[in-house]
């Protein structure tokens, strides 16, 4: 099973994982092919220790044939030929890559980073939640606030969901507002259009 790089409908994979490996490293998209390297970096461009979440950068090993390319996306580069298209994730001690979110979806709450996928994962653990989407909305005090859009099952209340999240997330990651909707938030492929949902809510509030 190959992971195709984000940024277009075509691409040459830079990581690979077998079915057996995936069972031992659930959620991973694989390890880099022999000719490429993958690491997570902090916002100031420092390579992070294995297991820490950061922005995922790749590079070809010098002098070896290319094993990946980006299509339909602009890359950002660091010294040393590292480049990224903004994926957020981490690399484990064995070199397996896990993707968490996109840099463009990150919510900055009072100077702290909140990754929507982490909050959505906590929301979706509630048995009365069908799907969810977490976005950042403007806030006069904190810059942005975490807003959760939730498709509930019968019987879910906001109080129940807030208690559920308080036991799983630190305070600044908990949604300051929760919105229940009837329509599905994800398409058949499981993708959600966070930018569109955010723009719709900002426009409605203005």
Domain of residue 46, CATH code: 2.30.38.10
Residue 163: the pLDDT is 97
The backbone torsions φ and ψ at residue 48, rounded to the nearest 5 degrees and listed phi first, read -90, 155
> Mean pLDDT throughout 128-137?
93
Residue linked to tokens 């902090």: 42
Rounded Cα distance, 125 and 88, in Å: 21
pLDDT at 45 > cutoff 80: yes
Residue, of 155 and 35, whose pLDDT is higher: 155
Please check whether residues 96 and 122 belong to one and the same domain: no
Instruction: Cite the DSSP H helix spans in 25-170.
Output: 116-124, 158-166
Rounded Cα distance, 180 and 147, in Å: 11
Rounded Cα distance, 152 and 27, in Å: 25
Q: Look up the domain containing 25 and give its range.
A: 2-103
Domain's final residue, options 103, 138, 156:
103
Residue 158, both tokens: 């906001």
Share of the chain above pLDDT 90, in %: 34
State the total domains in the chain: 2
pLDDT at 5 > cutoff 60: no
Model-level pTM?
0.63
């Amino acid at each position: 099973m190959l992971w195709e790089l984000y940024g277009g409908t075509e691409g040459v994979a830079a990581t690979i994982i077998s079915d057996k490996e995936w069972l031992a490293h659930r959620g991973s998209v694989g390890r880099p092919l022999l000719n490429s390297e993958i690491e997570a970096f902090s916002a100031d461009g420092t390579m992070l220790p294995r297991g820490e979440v950061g922005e995922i950068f790749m590079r070809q090993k010098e002098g070896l044939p290319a094993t990946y390319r980006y299509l339909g996306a602009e890359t950002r580069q660091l010294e040393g030929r590292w480049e990224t298209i903004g994926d957020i994730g981490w690399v484990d001690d064995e070199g397996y890559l896990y993707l968490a979110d996109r840099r463009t979806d990150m919510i900055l709450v009072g100077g702290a980073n909140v990754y929507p996928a982490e909050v959505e994962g906590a929301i979706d653990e509630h048995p009365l939640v069908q799907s969810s989407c977490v976005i950042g909305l403007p806030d006069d005090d904190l810059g942005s606030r975490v807003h959760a859009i939730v498709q509930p099952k019968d019987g879910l209340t906001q109080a129940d969901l807030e208690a559920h999240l308080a036991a799983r997330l630190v305070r600044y990651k908990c949604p300051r507002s929760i919105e229940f909707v009837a329509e599905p938030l994800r398409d058949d492929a499981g993708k959600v259009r966070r930018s569109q949902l955010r723009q719709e809510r900002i426009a409605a509030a203005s």
